[in-house]
């Protein structure tokens, strides 16, 4: 039994030593040849290195990226990397990785992204977004064919949406949690603005997702804003507007 333990320890130590000393550049060149990701200005090793520019399929560019592999998590069956990078001049830090079974995860994600950039990345049509979106995600995980899970807070400051007219949403807070049934839920509220938001969104096995949000125009909302609400919500007798949708996540391209 002790002999087997020493053999496993020796093999693991050698494997970690290889990762710590192998230059990152040859592996990066293979990624560059695939065409989806272009990485430039590489230095360091697979264990601890940096890249000046990472261009992801001509959609997003990350600058001054530094990474560090968490060696002890390999012993737990995970590949985990601490990332420190910049997108559009704003910092992003997180631990990202995957289990040996293929479950992807993100821990302690801290990022500030303009709403305009989010709309660009998500390819949101028609509406124009503005404001600053702050992400503070404690944990998120997902695997092909399974519903994702996440806990954390998304804070959209000075939020506004423009369709036919520009509508201020004040500060929007989305709180992500895991329900008792181990499903992702999102509580959505705001303070200030032309429209009061109160509702939730959740993942449900029978329909994959369900959204129930009440939008109530405030005294500052003009007729053009109220007319815009009719494009995607149903007017209620009390003057509010209701979004009540269910559907498959497959339609959103998340699985």
* Domain boundaries along the sequence of the chain: 2-190
pLDDT of residue 23: 59
Per-10-residue mean pLDDT, the chain, length 255: 44 46 59 71 82 85 90 77 93 91 91 93 82 97 86 97 88 94 92 96 82 95 90 92 86 52
pLDDT digits (tens, 9 = 90+) for 140-159: 998 877 888 999 999 999 99
Separation between Cα atoms, residue 47 and residue 186, nearest integer Å:
36
pLDDT digits (tens, 9 = 90+) for 220-249: 999 999 988 888 899 999 999 999 998 887
pLDDT of residue 82: 92
pLDDT of residue 194: 96
pLDDT of residue 28: 60
The Cα-based distances of 119 to 125, 127, 171, 234 in angstroms read 8, 9, 17, 24
Separation between Cα atoms, residue 113 and residue 91, nearest integer Å:
9
Give this prediction's pTM: 0.83
pLDDT of residue 125: 72
pLDDT of residue 2: 46
pLDDT of residue 66: 93
Burial of 173 per CB tally in 10 Å (0-12, 13-18, 19+): middle
pLDDT of residue 1: 44
Separation between Cα atoms, residue 113 and residue 124, nearest integer Å:
15
């Amino acid at each position: 039994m002790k002999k087997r333990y020493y053999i496993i320890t020796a093999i693991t130590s050698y494997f970690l030593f290889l990762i710590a000393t192998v230059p990152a550049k040859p592996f990066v060149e293979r990624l560059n040849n695939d065409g989806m990701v272009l990485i430039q200005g590489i230095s360091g090793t697979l264990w601890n290195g940096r890249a000046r520019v990472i261009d992801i399929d001509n959609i997003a560019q990350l600058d001054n990226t530094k990474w560090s592999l968490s060696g002890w998590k390999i012993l737990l069956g995970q590949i985990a990397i601490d990332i420190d990078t910049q997108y559009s001049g704003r910092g992003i830090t997180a631990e990202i990785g995957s289990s040996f079974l293929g479950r992807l995860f993100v821990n302690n994600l801290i990022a500030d992204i303009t709403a305009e950039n989010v709309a660009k990345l998500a390819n949101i049509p028609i509406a124009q977004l503005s404001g600053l979106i702050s992400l503070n995600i404690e944990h998120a995980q997902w695997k092909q064919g399974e519903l994702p899970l996440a806990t954390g807070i998304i804070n959209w400051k000075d939020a506004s949406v423009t369709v036919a007219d520009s509508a201020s949403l004040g500060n929007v807070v989305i709180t992500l949690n895991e329900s008792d049934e181990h499903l992702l839920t999102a509580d959505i509220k705001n303070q200030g603005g032309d429209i009061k938001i109160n509702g939730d969104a959740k993942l449900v096995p029978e329909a994959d997702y369900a959204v129930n949000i009440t939008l109530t125009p405030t005294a500052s909302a003009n007729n053009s804003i109220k007319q815009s609400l009719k494009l995607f919500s149903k007017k209620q007798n009390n003057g509010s507007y209701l979004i009540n949708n269910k559907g498959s996540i497959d339609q959103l391209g998340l699985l």
